[in-house]
Structure 1
Amino acid sequence: MTVRFAAVAAGMVMAVSGICQAQDAATAKLDVELNALAPSQKGCMMTFVAENNLQTPINKISFELAFFNDKNAVDRITVLDFRDLPQGKKRVRQFDMPNVKCETVTRILINDTPVCDGPAAGECMKGLVTRSQISVPFEG
């Protein structure tokens, strides 16, 4: 009887552990927020807030962004280096985009993550959650 109980208890512990891991994987996300666009001497200063809630730290990440204009056409595509994103920490990243007028940017799309060093392949895009604190939509 004791052996049977131990086997059942071990099975239950493994099942609960599997459920917890599945929940952790389901809530694992990479939050990237478009926080501000401000005119600068070069063009447009873009401020982003990123928080890595994936299951591993990100040693280096870059995002390929597409900028749309008032005609809903892609005006430019560029890659921005967000450097490292420690697990569970928020980081602010600013990029001064030369020859871009903030008022002409009508939408920004994260097209890809060409570099995502740390998490398993594909996890950065899979866990990506975008939002915007301003009127310009930010999508991923």
Structure 2
Amino acid sequence: MIDRSFSSSRIGAALVSGFVAMALVGPAIAQEAGAEKAAPVKLQLNKTESAGDACRITMVVDNSKGPAMKTFKVDLFAFDTDGVAQKRVAVELAPIASNKTSVKIFDFPGIACGKVGRILLNDVLACDGGEGARETCLARTETESKAGISFDR
């Protein structure tokens, strides 16, 4: 004779264990999926103009779908038309309001705009707000250019 109460209690325990595991793992999976779908911060090289011996950059920062950021400092390199790195600047683009697009203006000193062939977003140096981690900010940053100079990561 088979003791059915023993088998059903084992099945019940297995089901409970499975539900507990799903309850513990489910939020972690959802959090990872949420991190992958974080709203992008779009940096658009919108315009360049000469400002003395500097190349003045007008940058559109599109955070129209993201949380506010207290700090968003980027590391940029300007390359000449032959692809040789010329100038490096660290630029603070924050504060950035949530769900807002803003314009920031800064200079690449000592290089004429006509000699700039490419600008590289080398890294995100600091990021505070929203998801917060520097690496997360770098991953969610997208680049584009309307200025006739390539801008990429």
Q: TM-score range by the shorter chain?
A: 0.7 to 0.9
1:120 to 117, 132, 141: 132
**CA apart distance, 1:57:** 1.4
TM-score after normalising by structure 2: 0.71
- Runs (4+) of structure 1 exceeding 6 A deviation are none
- In structure 2, the gaps of 5 or more residues are 1-25
After superposing the two structures, state which structure 1 stretch, 39-48 or 23-32, moved more.
23-32
Question: Aligned partners of 1:42 and 1:95: how far apart in 2?
Answer: 13
After superposing the two structures, state which structure 1 stretch, 56-65 or 115-124, moved more.
115-124
2:55–2:111 contact (8 Å) kept in structure 1: yes
Q: Higher strand proportion, which one?
A: 1
1:137 and 2:150 matched: yes
Question: Aligned partners of 2:105 and 2:66: how far apart in 1?
Answer: 25
1:70 and 2:81 matched: yes
Please name the residue that 2:18 is paired with.
Answer: none
**CA apart distance, 1:77:** 1.5
Aligned 1:76-91 pairs, distance under 5 A: 76-91=87-102
**CA apart distance, 1:55:** 4.4
- In structure 1, the gaps of 5 or more residues are 1-14
Q: Which amino acid aligns with 1:33?
A: Q
Question: Aligned partners of 2:37 and 2:111: how far apart in 1?
Answer: 37
After superposing the two structures, state which structure 1 stretch, 32-41 or 22-31, moved more.
22-31
RMSD, aligned α-carbons: 2.4
Please name the residue that 2:22 is paired with.
Answer: none
Summarize the Cα distance change of 1:103–1:61 in structure 2 as closer, same or farther, 3 Å threshold: same
The count of corresponding residues between Structure 1 and Structure 2 is: 124
Aligned 1:40-51 pairs, distance under 5 A: 40-51=51-62
Aligned-pair identity (%): 24
Question: Aligned partners of 1:43 and 1:117: how far apart in 2?
Answer: 29
1:38–1:44 contact (8 Å) kept in structure 2: yes
TM-score after normalising by structure 1: 0.78
For CA contacts below 8 A with separation 6 or more, give which structure has more relative contact order: 1
